[in-house]
């Protein structure tokens, strides 16, 4: 278990550029907006005949996944390839650590292969920070989700979706609904939304799925969904993370859907132009009904497209930050 999170691994180099991307917490608004602007420039590539740029040509990106993921791993792989990087995908859960090799040994082996970036997904909170503190200074580390702690690229693709749909963050009321307790996405979203200046953030869930003292993160807590989504501009639904909870936290999935699932009637309480987001994978009939997930207010498929662009932005910025960091070190 890697639960104590060491924030000593700075995400920024001496010039304030991104060199790791581990969390949205404490990053300045200027940098978050730079990620969004860079990602926005990459979105146009999807309509081009050749969907590649040479920004990471000659670089090796290792997708280091200690827990399964299809959507996140595939979008990171595609993002790296569109940047012209060489990509190595490692499913560690069925690989070296299962044979008794330590995490540090695995990292040293990969460093010997001259990797330039690790994209890390791990079931333990703090794993990405631990790895960033262990690797040599010239390797960028991107957090693709660690335990209940953070999922910063998911949060930023959600921010890009909101910005492209709403134009500006100021004045927006954003509701995050569902399994707040176990959600690394919710935490990363809250930090990013606060930094980008939304008017109000609401979290909506049964008491058993609300973290203790979450109000200190600057959110309003609702246990009644009908009150919580009233007049919202953005409704972000979360997946029930059944693999992280015990059955005592919920009476049943059908009861959860009745009280906290998003259907067409409940959505009418939000603003008429409200958008609906979900990080996926969707549990239809548990968190959201198909009519809403596939409806005109849904941005779920847009989020997938935006995710590739955001991950391209973060990867290219981190590699650039590492190069500039190495150059400034040599000059000193």
Total domains in the chain come to 2
69 to 66, 227, 293: CA distances (angstroms): 9, 34, 21
| Letter string b/e over residues 134-156, b meaning 16 or more CB atoms within 10 A of that residue's CB | ebeebbbbbbbbbbbbbbbbbbb
Same domain, 216 and 168: yes
2 within some domain:
no
CATH of the domain at 213: 3.40.50.1370
Task: Transcribe 25-85 into DSSP letters.
Answer: TT--HHHHHHHHHHHHHHHGGGGSSS----TTTT-EEEEEESS--SHHHHHHHHHHHHTT-
Same domain, 175 and 286: yes
The predicted pLDDT at position 332 comes to 40
Mean pLDDT, all residues of the chain: 89
157 within some domain:
yes
Q: Say whether 12 sits in a helix, a strand or coil.
A: strand
Please check the confidence at residue 250 and state whether its pLDDT lies above 60.
yes
Same domain, 235 and 129: no
Same domain, 159 and 238: yes
Please check the confidence at residue 251 and state whether its pLDDT lies above 90.
no
What is the per-residue pLDDT across 115-146, written as a single tens digit (0 to 9) for each? 999 999 998 899 999 999 989 889 999 999 99
Contact 323, 13 (CB under 8 A): no
Same domain, 199 and 100: no
Q: Which of 11, 39, 15 is nearest to 26 (CA)?
A: 11
14 within some domain:
no
Q: If pLDDT is split at 50, 70 and 90, which confidence band does 172 have?
A: very high
- Containing structural domain, residue 48: 29-151+305-326
105 within some domain:
yes
What is the per-residue pLDDT across 267-302, written as a single tens digit (0 to 9) for each? 999 999 999 999 988 999 999 999 999 999 999 999
Among 139-143, 147-151, 176-180, 249-253, the least confident range: 249-253
Same domain, 120 and 169: no
Residue 277 in tokens: 């987001």
Same domain, 84 and 163: no
Cα distance between residue 314 and residue 320, in whole Å: 10
Q: Which of 231, 240, 239, 238 is nearest to 266 (CA)?
A: 231
Same domain, 317 and 290: no
The predicted pLDDT at position 4 comes to 47
Same domain, 135 and 167: no
Same domain, 125 and 203: no
39 within some domain:
yes
Please check the confidence at residue 253 and state whether its pLDDT lies above 90.
no
Secondary structure letter of residue 326 according to DSSP: H
55 within some domain:
yes
Say if pTM beats, i.e. exceeds, 0.85.
Answer: yes
Please check the confidence at residue 39 and state whether its pLDDT lies above 90.
yes
9 within some domain:
no
199 to 172, 195, 235: CA distances (angstroms): 5, 11, 14
The predicted pLDDT at position 101 comes to 64
Same domain, 76 and 127: yes
The predicted pLDDT at position 97 comes to 54
The predicted pLDDT at position 98 comes to 53
Contact 62, 118 (CB under 8 A): yes
What is the per-residue pLDDT across 61-119, written as a single tens digit (0 to 9) for each? 999 998 888 889 999 999 999 999 999 998 776 555 555 567 788 888 889 989 999 99
Q: Say whether 289 sits in a helix, a strand or coil.
A: coil
Q: Which of 108, 137, 140, 143 is nearest to 5 (CA)?
A: 143
Same domain, 163 and 286: yes
216 within some domain:
yes
The predicted pLDDT at position 248 comes to 52
Token pair 């307790």 is found at: 181
């Amino acid at each position: 278990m890697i639960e104590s999170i060491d924030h000593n691994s700075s995400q920024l180099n001496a010039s304030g550029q991104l060199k790791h991307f581990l969390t949205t917490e404490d990053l300045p608004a200027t940098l978050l907006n730079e990620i969004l602007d860079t990602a926005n420039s990459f979105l146009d590539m999807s309509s081009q005949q050749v969907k590649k740029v040479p920004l990471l040509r000659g670089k090796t990106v290792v997708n280091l996944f200690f827990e399964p993921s299809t959507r996140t791993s595939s979008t990171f792989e595609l993002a790296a390839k569109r940047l012209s990087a060489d990509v190595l995908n490692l499913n560690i859960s069925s690989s070296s650590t299962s044979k008794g090799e330590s995490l540090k040994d695995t990292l040293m082996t990969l460093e010997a292969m001259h990797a330039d970036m690790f994209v890390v997904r791990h079931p333990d909170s703090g794993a990405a920070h631990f790895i960033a503190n262990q690797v040599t200074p010239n390797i960028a580390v991107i957090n693709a989700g660690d335990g209940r702690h953070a999922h910063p690229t998911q949060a930023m693709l959600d921010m890009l979706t909101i910005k492209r749909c709403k134009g500006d963050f100021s004045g927006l009321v954003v509701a995050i609904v569902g399994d707040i307790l176990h959600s690394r996405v919710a935490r990363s979203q809250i930090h990013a939304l606060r930094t980008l200046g939304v008017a109000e953030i609401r979290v909506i869930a049964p008491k058993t799925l609300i973290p203790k003292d979450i109000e200190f993160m600057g959110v309003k807590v609702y246990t009644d969904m009908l009150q919580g989504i009233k007049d919202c501009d953005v409704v972000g639904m979360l997946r029930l993370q059944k693999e992280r909870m015990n059955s005592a936290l919920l009476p049943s999935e059908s009861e959860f859907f009745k009280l906290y699932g998003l259907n067409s009637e409940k959505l009418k309480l939000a603003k008429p132009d409200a958008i609906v987001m979900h990080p996926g994978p969707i549990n239809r009939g548990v968190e959201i009904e198909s009519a809403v997930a596939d409806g005109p207010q849904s941005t779920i498929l847009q989020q997938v497209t935006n995710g590739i662009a955001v991950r391209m932005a973060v990867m290219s910025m981190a590699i650039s930050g590492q190069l500039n960091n190495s150059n400034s070190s040599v000059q000193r």
